[in-house]
Amino acid sequence: MTFSDAVYAALGAGALAAAMLPRLVFRRPLSMPMVFLAVGVAVALLPLPLPVVDPVQDRLWVEHATEVCVIVSLMGAGLALNRPFGLRRWAGPWRLLGLAMPLTIATTGLLAVVFLDWPPAAALLVAAVLAPTDPVLAAEVRVGEPADSERDDDEVRFTLTAEAGLNDGLAFPFVLAAIALAAASGGAWSAGWIGPWVLGDLLAKTAIGIGTGLVTGRLLGLMFFRAKPSAVRLSEHLEGFVALGATFLSYGIAEIAHGYGFLAVFVTACTVRAVERNHGYHKVLHEFTEQIERLLTAFFLFLLGAYLAKTGFDTLTWPAALLGLLLVVAVRPVTAWVSQIGMSTGPREKIVTSAFGIRGIGSLFYLAYALGHNDFSGLAKQMWSLIAFTVLVSVILHGITATPVITHLDRLRRTSRRAP
């Protein structure tokens, strides 16, 4: 038996497990990401000469592979949302994006300076990298498949899914701010980069990403559902892989135009959904993206578990571990709660929305991307240890609690609806 034969067998077993596990762990305090993370740890500890991905040496591979995983999940999230765009309809996500995310970045950056004594650029980077929410790692807290009514989206699942879809793109300006600060000052504080960053990275690239998503989504939606030639009206053929075409097309156009591709993909998905909101083809597209996303997520969490078991903890310090733990259990919950003050959402929903700010694949991409532009005072290994540990804490804590918490919340919601 050759090593390649073992790889094929492992890939086949992993794909089958990715198909079965969501059903096996359904309604249990366990998640598919937890299982694959544990399997990665267990396999890496076996006395076998198995290769392990080093995110420092294999940075470029990690960046592009996680990039694909993120954009596929963004397409799936946008297609699943039943609620149309609107200031009031999307009040929860807007508050989490406009208030909770900046507060989380500021607080985490300050803690990185205090606890780790890192330079401002490095502190800002880890804060921005850890800011995005990633509900793909806990299926119970995200919107399910597309439905016919916007009322099928309960507030918690809708808010977390919409937040994740948008802040995976809106965290990018802060990552670029850290890169700009590192380049301008060599790690110390400098203000000369702020003006170009606001005009270019914050405003222009965001506008290009949103605009690309709106135009691309509208054109694709018209083609899918209203084109006169039946060969072009793809909704009649029910081919799910078209979702990948829409994903890569909108992402590529936005990036070529120097905009944020993550934003473009999510907006494209929402716009395609809006063209013909209740068409069954959305379920076909969503199911295909969900399957691809599940495979990629299982693959990356297996590799993350192996990395943690082999070398991931070598450069992790107690202050860094405390920082990651505080982000998950205190910083995100508090800032998200503050951002929801004054909303009509019930207190239970606010608490659950605040608590499940899950960290995942997006954080891995952002760190790999940033380290390709600057070495951030040689802190790459320490940063990878911190980010990987934080994702580990999030996967375990949220994986265990998501099912019982959301199940209890659903039960209370059904009871209140039946009450006279």
Q: What is the pLDDT of residues 346-371, one digit of tens each?
A: 888 899 999 988 888 899 999 999 99
Rounded to whole angstroms, how far apart are CA atoms 286 and 289?
5
Residue 126: closest CA among 318, 390, 383: 383
What is the pLDDT, as a whole number, of residue 4? 60
pTM for the structure as a whole: 0.92
> Which structure tokens are listed for 172?
């990018």
- Mapping DSSP onto H, E and C, the string for 1-66 reads CCHHHHHHHHHHHHHHHHHHHHHHCCCCCCCHHHHHHHHHHHHHCCCCCCCCCCCCCCHHHHHHHH
CB neighbours of residue 158 within 10 Å: 23
Per the CB < 8 A criterion, the answer to whether 250 and 265 are in contact is: yes
Q: In this predicted model, what pLDDT tens digit does every residue of 184-214 receive, in sequence order?
A: 866 556 677 888 899 999 999 999 999 999 9
Per the CB < 8 A criterion, the answer to whether 385 and 314 are in contact is: yes
H/E stretch holding 152: none
Rounded to whole angstroms, how far apart are CA atoms 100 and 94?
9
Does pLDDT of 43 surpass 60?
Answer: yes
CA distances (Å), origin 331, targets 50, 104, 110, 310, 319: 37, 6, 11, 29, 15
Q: In this predicted model, what pLDDT tens digit does every residue of 303-350 receive, in sequence order?
A: 999 999 988 899 999 999 999 999 999 999 999 999 999 888 888 889
The model's confidence at residue 46, banded by pLDDT at 50, 70 and 90, is confident
Rounded to whole angstroms, how far apart are CA atoms 189 and 173?
18
Rounded to whole angstroms, how far apart are CA atoms 356 and 249?
31
Q: Is the dihedral of CA 126, 129, 131, 134 positive or negative?
A: negative
Q: What share of the chain is helix, strand, coil (3-state, %, to 5)?
A: 75, 0, 25
Does pLDDT of 17 surpass 60?
Answer: yes
> CB under 8 Å to 170, separation ≥6 — which residues?
97, 101, 206, 260, 263
Structure letter (DSSP) for residue 230: T
Average pLDDT over residues 44-52: 78
The model's confidence at residue 138, banded by pLDDT at 50, 70 and 90, is low
Least confident range of 126-135, 251-260, 261-270: 126-135
